[in-house]
Amino acid sequence: MLARIAQIESAFADPMVLSGGTAAGATSAGAATESTTTPVASAASASTSFANLLAGATGSSTAVSPTAEAEALNSTYAEAALEALGGLDNTGSSSSTDPLSGLGLSSSLTASSPLTAAGALSSLATTGTATATSNADGNQAIVAIAEGQVGATEQPPGSNNGPAIAMYRSAVAGAEPGEPWCAQFASWVAKQAGIPLGDAGQGLSSVSQIWSWAQQTGRAIPNGQGVVPKPGDLIVFGDAHVGIVTGVQPNGDIDTVEGNYDNQVVSNVRGPDEATGYVDMSA
């Protein structure tokens, strides 16, 4: 492959090879006199000549059209570059490792929509290197994680403890068994979604701590006329309770998932006037 690339680079370095002509003052094969003007290659002749050169470099006896040439170059070098990153086969299909995810790019590599060299460069120019999860994705993750915990219960009921509650408690530095755990549940979900609560991501054990942190970080939204939360926001009820917004119904009711509600994690529906405020997790 290196030898082939060297041949192509050599062709680019000598315009006369690309044009198929001869330099001014040189004697062309079969010509009786020296040329007195510099030949100018047409776009068609240059492309065709380069195609023939490429065919020779690859050991093919048949010249290819400029279009086929471009497709061949794209297929060979775009995919080779991606293979070097790992995770692609020669068809452009992804395998166990997706190189685009490592670059912070969304993956669209399938046999029906292979990545082109231009597309890869465009994506890199637009996206840059790997970035943190977007806030919108974080809110969606909060909803999915919270909904996945519905049905988790205290063991025994009324103990503020049990295997699931201990897991939620682990997201809060210094939390103790037997403490009310609605804030611990919210802290665990947020941490799992990559948006931890607290100035240092240490989690928060009480509703008042969550609201204070929200005020300090510009996330606090007092409830009022026209206030509509987003899925993934926290829903706060004074200093007494906190849950997670999972949706907003057409009539304004708020779908929630709440920890430590009747000793378990439940799906609930709240009226639009019940909450005292919301914590914007996309801020």
Task: Quick: pLDDT tens for 208-231.
Answer: 999 999 999 999 999 999 999 999
pLDDT of residue 169: 98
Helical (H) or strand (E) element with 261: strand 254-261
Q: What share of the chain is helix, strand, coil (3-state, %, to 5)?
A: 40, 15, 50
pLDDT-derived band at 63 (thresholds 50, 70, 90) equals low
The pLDDT tens digits of the residues spanning 103-112 come to 444 443 333 3
- Please check the confidence at residue 281 and state whether its pLDDT lies above 80: yes
Q: The whole model's pTM is what? A: 0.55
Q: What is the pLDDT of residue 2?
A: 57
Longest C-alpha distance within the chain, in Å?
106
Is the distance from CB of 234 to CB of 244 less than 8 angstroms?
yes
Q: Which of 92, 98, 132, 124 is nearest to 111 (CA)?
A: 92
Residue 32's pLDDT is what?
34
CA 164/CA 167 separation, integer angstroms: 5
Tell me if the bond preceding 250 is cis, omega within 30° of 0. Answer: no
Of 134, 164, 159, 155, the C-alpha closest to 283 is 134
pLDDT higher than threshold 90 for residue 279: yes
Domain boundaries, the chain: 135-279
Q: Which of 28-37, 41-50, 138-147, 197-206 has the lowest mean pLDDT?
A: 28-37
Note the pLDDT tens digit of each residue in 227-266. Answer: 999 999 999 999 999 999 999 999 999 999 999 999 999 9
Q: Average pLDDT, whole number, for the chain?
A: 72
Say if residue 203's pLDDT is above 90: yes
Mean predicted confidence (pLDDT) in 64-92: 48
Question: Is 74's pLDDT higher than 60?
Answer: no
pLDDT value at position 267?
98
Q: Which fold has domain 135-279?
A: endopeptidase fold (from Nostoc punctiforme) (3.90.1720)
Q: How far apart are CA 82 and CA 255, in angstroms?
A: 44
Helix axis angle, 43-57 relative to 66-73, nearest 10°?
Answer: 50
More confident of the two residues 14 and 96: 14
pLDDT score for 11: 54
Helix (H, G, I), strand (E, B) or coil at 87: coil
